[in-house]
Amino acid sequence: MELVRRRPIPWMLWTIWKNRNSLLYAEVQESTLLLAHIALEESTLWNELNKVEKGGNQYLHDLGAPEKWAPPAPGLVKCNMHANWRNDRYLTGGAWITRDHRGEVGMHTRDALLPSPDRLSAEMNCFLWVLRSLRDLRLEEVSVVIDFEVESRGSNKVAIEIAKSVLRDGRLQSYLALGGPSWLHDLIQTEVTFVNS
């Protein structure tokens, strides 16, 4: 059920972006209800077209999501993010880390975000926090990824570990730092070695 609720998120974001552009450049505003309906319909259609039969059960195609961190195209920065949600009574641990096409870390951050009613809300709040942070830092050529269906958890390990440390280790103080966290140096180096091999 949780996966089904998360599937439309990329289409929702894309629909919001397209509506923003329509409003800015063509002064056309669609109703929110219509936009949500379009995004859900496109998501459902895409997921239905990407199902395959295996032993009587249906599965989504693997879509080639790498199990290890994959670099962005040269000239872009990749921002991996993660929201560590436990339940609606606790804070959410949020983290993001940027790396270039060689795997070199630009900066990373973590923060304790306000409690959210469910995992989906926590991920959306974290996503908005990341976008605001990148805007404030004037980072424009950025590919933001989260471990939804197109980015595997295996390729998002560093951001996941930083986000988990917020609640696990009581690291509730937000910060922004250049480079990666020293306690994850070995994991970051392993991923860079994988990229450069």
pLDDT given at position 19: 78
HEC profile for 89-106?
CCCEEEEEEEECCCCCEE
Closest CA to 169 of 91, 96, 98: 91
Distance (Å, whole) CA 163 – CA 184: 12
Distance (Å, whole) CA 197 – CA 188: 14
As to burial, measured by CB atoms within 10 angstroms (0-12 exposed, 13-18 middle, 19+ buried), residue 8 is buried
Q: What is the pTM of this model?
A: 0.69
Pick the CATH number of 77-196 from 2.60.120, 3.40.1350, 3.40.50, 3.30.420: 3.30.420
Alpha helix (H) residue ranges in 57-184: 119-136, 157-168
Locus of tokens 């641990």: 93
Across the 197 residues of the chain, what is the mean pLDDT of every consecutive 10-residue run? 66 79 79 80 76 48 64 92 92 95 94 91 89 92 74 84 92 92 90 71
HEC profile for 124-139?
HHHHHHHHHHHHHCCC
Going from N- to C-terminal start, the domains of the chain cover 2-60, 77-196
